[in-house]
Structure 1
Amino acid sequence: MGLVVESRPSEVPYIERVWRSRSDEAGRMMSVATSHWELVFWEHQGVPQAAVLGPEAKASLAPVPGEAVFFGISFALGTSMPHIPVSALVGGSAAIPEVTRRSLWLKGSAWHVPDYDNAEAFVRRMVREGIVDVDPVVTAALGDTGTAPDVSERTLQRRFVAATGLTQGAVRQIHRARQAAVLIQEGVAAQEVVHRLGYFDQPHLARSLKRYVGRTATQLATPDTALPLSLLYKT
């Protein structure tokens, strides 16, 4: 199956990544676990659609329609759409109504459909109008400053799950498995990946890859073009 994926990082702190893809023929892909929620637009057989996709707690097979184009905004951890709780979207999605090639209906207002090049302007407007919010406690917990948020551990966990749909432990495991998959695809030996990323041993790595990436280390080292993976990138 031909599935071409392109992505880029963003300078906007609310965005983790912007991506686009196209498929040549119908098939399936392995959807890799992800801790980020996304806003995705696609067109198939001349029909434009859009949806909010929740985090994925494990890898799963997903259908890919033939001759379709996709564009997505992957949002940073800690951001959320308060009117669509992320915790209710884990492993699922919420369709956005009344989508055309030029406009969509979002929280009671008509919006121009964004594209790969102007995603940042679209998200900045979402923030200004209160459609996207960020929990500073969660972003502080995710930061590299070494300063813990000034809340109890119980409060932190509750707010973390509310903002991301996942626990801190689940986010760490997903992130590590994705890092491991990228390293193995780059030719790093499994034993070296175990050492670099702090797995107990190779069986521990193997279980993590199977759960969160849907591939073994051997399969990652020899990619299956008939069953491609969803977006993987080096953080």
Structure 2
Amino acid sequence: MGLEVESRPSESPYIERVWRSRSDGVDQMTSIAASRWDLVFWEQGGQVCVGVQGPVSRASPAPVPAEATFFGISFSLGTMMPHLPVHGLVDGSAEIPDVTPGSFWLKGSHWRLPDYDNAEWFVRRLVREGVLDRDPIVADVLRGAAQEVSERTLQRRFVAATGLTRGAVRQIDRARQAAILIQRGEPIQEVVHRLGYFDQPHLARSLTRYVGRTATQLSVRQPPEPLSLLY
């Protein structure tokens, strides 16, 4: 009973994570902040739906469809659909039309529905057909590599490719990592030191904003309300 979630990493430079989940007996979860956007496929009562979920800037309650199965591709930072700008999808989503049990419509063509095991093949085809693109400067910036363009240009390209500023991405990703460490039993003070928070209150504010849980709540083995995908 609850929200069962499974995920795996990917060797594709375009994919951050591939995940799938099933809901059973739960009608609400906490949707935590996410710096990546997702292409999501779900089935409920025999009906198949497809949608693009944009980056999420802060945690909030979210409904969970009853007895539904989900499969999603979380794209790496800098990966984008030029015809569907990600900056317009922050804290929002866009449903894909003309979905059948076996295909869906995207950028003027019908596409066969992918699944958890062939996501990389599907993404390679999206790249070949020009539906997906990737701004390499974003990955370079995240690695700290020196750039030959101005700071203003870097920020503009980063926001265009991710929908968020570099500062927002750092804060969201750090809060998610803190939540994972706390759930693993890492001492709070060690998490503060390891991830560079100023102090414990700073960590607490970050967790509340981006994860929707306190450190104590994250330590509970079976919380009353599930979290969205945390990795």
Give the Cα–Cα distance (whole angstroms) in 1 for the partners of residues 68 and 205 of structure 2.
33
| Cα pair 2:217 2:223 within 8 Å, conserved | no
TM-score by length of 1: 0.96
> What secondary structure is seen at the aligned counterpart in 1 of 2:168?
helix
Give the Cα–Cα distance (whole angstroms) in 2 for the partners of residues 92 and 223 of structure 1.
30
Name 1:172's counterpart in structure 2.
170
Give the Cα–Cα distance (whole angstroms) in 1 for the partners of residues 130 and 114 of structure 2.
18
Give the Cα–Cα distance (whole angstroms) in 1 for the partners of residues 4 and 224 of structure 2.
13
| Cα pair 1:30 1:214 within 8 Å, conserved | yes
Name 2:110's counterpart in structure 1.
110
Give the Cα–Cα distance (whole angstroms) in 2 for the partners of residues 138 and 94 of structure 1.
24
2:114 aligned with 1:99 = no
> What secondary structure is seen at the aligned counterpart in 2 of 1:65?
coil
Task: Quote the offset at 1:26 in angstroms.
Answer: 4.1
Give the Cα–Cα distance (whole angstroms) in 1 for the partners of residues 15 and 219 of structure 2.
30
2:197 aligned with 1:199 = yes
Give the Cα–Cα distance (whole angstroms) in 2 for the partners of residues 142 and 81 of structure 1.
20
Counterparts of residues 1-235 of structure 1 (less than 5 Å): 2-143=2-143, 146-233=144-231
Give the Cα–Cα distance (whole angstroms) in 1 for the partners of residues 198 and 208 of structure 2.
16
Give the Cα–Cα distance (whole angstroms) in 2 for the partners of residues 114 and 38 of structure 1.
14
The aligned amino acid for 2:74 is S
The aligned amino acid for 2:134 is V
Give the Cα–Cα distance (whole angstroms) in 2 for the partners of residues 147 and 192 of structure 1.
28
The aligned amino acid for 1:81 is M
* Structure 2: gaps (5+ residues): none
Task: Quote the offset at 1:66 in angstroms.
Answer: 1.1
Give the Cα–Cα distance (whole angstroms) in 1 for the partners of residues 48 and 63 of structure 2.
17
Task: Quote the offset at 1:142 in angstroms.
Answer: 1.6
Matched residues, number? 231
Runs of 4+ in structure 1 displaced over 6 angstroms? none
| Cα pair 1:29 1:62 within 8 Å, conserved | yes
| Cα pair 2:96 2:104 within 8 Å, conserved | yes
> What secondary structure is seen at the aligned counterpart in 1 of 2:141?
helix
Task: Quote the offset at 1:148 in angstroms.
Answer: 1.5
Task: Quote the offset at 1:137 in angstroms.
Answer: 1.5
| Cα pair 1:25 1:65 within 8 Å, conserved | no
| 161-170 or 223-232, larger mean C-alpha shift | 223-232
> What secondary structure is seen at the aligned counterpart in 2 of 1:171?
helix
TM-score by length of 2: 0.98
* Structure 1: gaps (5+ residues): none
Give the Cα–Cα distance (whole angstroms) in 2 for the partners of residues 151 and 178 of structure 1.
30
Task: Quote the offset at 1:220 in angstroms.
Answer: 0.2
